[in-house]
Amino acid sequence: MAVRTLIVEDEPVTQRLLTLRLQNIGCDVVGAADNPRDGLNRFRELRPELVTLDIQMPEFDGLDAAGLFDAIRGEDPRCEIAVITASAFPAHRERFMKAGAIAYALKPVDFRRLADQLRKYFPDLKRAT
């Protein structure tokens, strides 16, 4: 069964790339949002099983991302979150992994590694090629 997935990412090219790569491993990308407010609204509307979250967007920093992360987990603790970001700050990675992120992938994304991390929580997903 496909994993219902929401992408929260401000770059349209990255949104498309994530959509294609996630679909190839068995995710059903049900929506995308390019800012945190829309991300939370789309989450409430779509109720995905997985959210990919960029933590650096215009007018959106690590603290805002933490708030969005916590809001999603507070509304549905079963929803898994994978952080996909260019932020290599160890404090960011530590904060999100401690909060329950199932992956913290740096851009450019190693999709094989990301798929392996996601399969720990969604075993029906395929290996990335």
DSSP secondary structure code for residue 49 in this structure: S
Give this prediction's pTM.
0.95
Interhelix angle 62-75/90-99, rounded to 10 degrees, is 10
CB 8 within 8 A of CB 14: no
Q: What are 73-129's pLDDT values in tens digits?
A: 999 999 999 999 998 889 989 999 999 999 999 999 999 999 999 999 999 999 998
3-119: CATH topology is Rossmann fold (3.40.50)
The two tokens of residue 15 are 């949104």
Kindly list the domain boundaries of the chain, sorted by start residue.
Answer: 3-119
